[in-house]
């Protein structure tokens, strides 16, 4: 497995690259954004680990450029930014997970394993028969092509948004707790870090509830979320 690590903190990249190498990964390191972006766009990596703030080009912009090429390589952000808006920005750019600095190295290894495992599972199911479309009150989902339709208008979704919306569509008019959604969407994989679900839900709502349409995903405070009235 090949990993690209882009971070300008040498005191972090050196021990982290050694740790990943000891775990059997092939690690390339870049300490500034432009070089990191060049390497990322060359492809051939199974995981990108990006610092948010970098000299030359931010990790956020690197992620956007990678996703603009329809490259679904998993992206893990290392960042000191921990507000919900920051997480929404990162997920909107195409990030898969976050670790907020400072963090435990064993937690990073767990998230690396989870992202790589998830990526391998996605690759193994590409050739499987596409599931039927899911729909509810004018909202339709084409899982195979990661497209939703609201009032007939197509909406492009990320992989995470597709899986989240599919789970909601399979349980309409039900209050789904955070734990139920974690289990239904992430299963036995490593759970995302805190607030990722809230950020992901905000992104999904932004797409499937465009201006002029009634809300269809509701927050049930203290419990979770509900699709429908």
State pLDDT tens for residues 190-228.
Answer: 666 657 888 899 999 999 998 888 899 999 998 899 998
Class of domain 134-227: mainly alpha
Q: What is the pLDDT of residues 15-57, one digit of tens each?
A: 999 999 999 899 999 999 999 999 999 888 999 999 989 999 9
Bridge-based pairing state of the strands 2-6 and 26-30: parallel
Q: In three state form, how does the secondary structure of the chain look?
A: CEEEEECCCHHHHHHHHHHHHHCCCEEEEECCHHHHHHHHHHCCCCEEEEECCCCCCCHHHHHHHHHHCCCCCCEEEEECCCCHHHHHHHHHHCCCEEEECCCCHHHHHHHHHHHHHHHHHHHHCCCCCCCCCEEECCEEEECCCCEEEECCEEEECCHHHHHHHHHHHCCCCCEEEHHHHHHHHHCCCCCCCCCHHHHHHHHHHHHHCCCCCCCCEEEECCCEEEECC
Spatial neighbors of 209 by CB under 8 A, at least 6 apart, are: 150, 215, 216, 217
Stated pTM of the model: 0.64
The whole-number average pLDDT for the span 124-141 is 69
Domain boundaries, the chain: 2-124, 134-227
Name the residue with tokens 């690759």: 123
β-partners of residue 136 are 139
Lowest mean pLDDT of 7-16, 93-102, 217-226, name the range: 93-102
Which CATH homologous superfamily contains domain 2-124? Response regulator (3.40.50.2300)
Does 126 have pLDDT greater than 60?
no
Per-residue model confidence (pLDDT) at position 129: 47
């Amino acid at each position: 497995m090949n990993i690209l690590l882009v971070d300008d903190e040498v005191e972090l990249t050196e021990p982290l690259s050694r740790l990943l190498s000891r775990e059997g990964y092939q690690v390339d390191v870049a300490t500034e954004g432009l070089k990191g972006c060049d390497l990322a766009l060359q492809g051939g990596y199974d995981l990108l680990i990006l610092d948010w703030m970098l000299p030359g080009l931010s990790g956020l912009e690197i992620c956007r450029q990678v996703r603009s090429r329809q490259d679904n390589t998993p992206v893990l952000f290392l960042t000191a930014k921990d507000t919900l808006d920051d997480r929404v920005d990162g997920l909107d750019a195409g990030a898969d997970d976050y670790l907020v600095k400072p963090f435990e190295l064993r937690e990073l290894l767990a998230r690396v394993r989870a992202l790589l495992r998830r990526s391998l599972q996605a690759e193994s199911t590409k050739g499987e028969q596409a599931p039927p479309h899911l729909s509810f009150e004018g909202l339709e989902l084409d899982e195979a092509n990661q497209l939703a339709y609201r009032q007939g208008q197509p909406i492009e979704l990320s992989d995470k948004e597709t899986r989240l919306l599919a789970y909601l569509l399979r349980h309409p008019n039900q209050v789904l707790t955070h734990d139920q959604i974690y289990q239904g969407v992430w299963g036995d994989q490593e759970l995302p870090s805190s607030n990722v679900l809230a950020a992901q839900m905000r992104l999904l709502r932004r797409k499937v509830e465009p201006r002029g349409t009634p809300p269809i995903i509701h927050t049930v405070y203290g419990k979770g979320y509900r699709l429908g009235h």
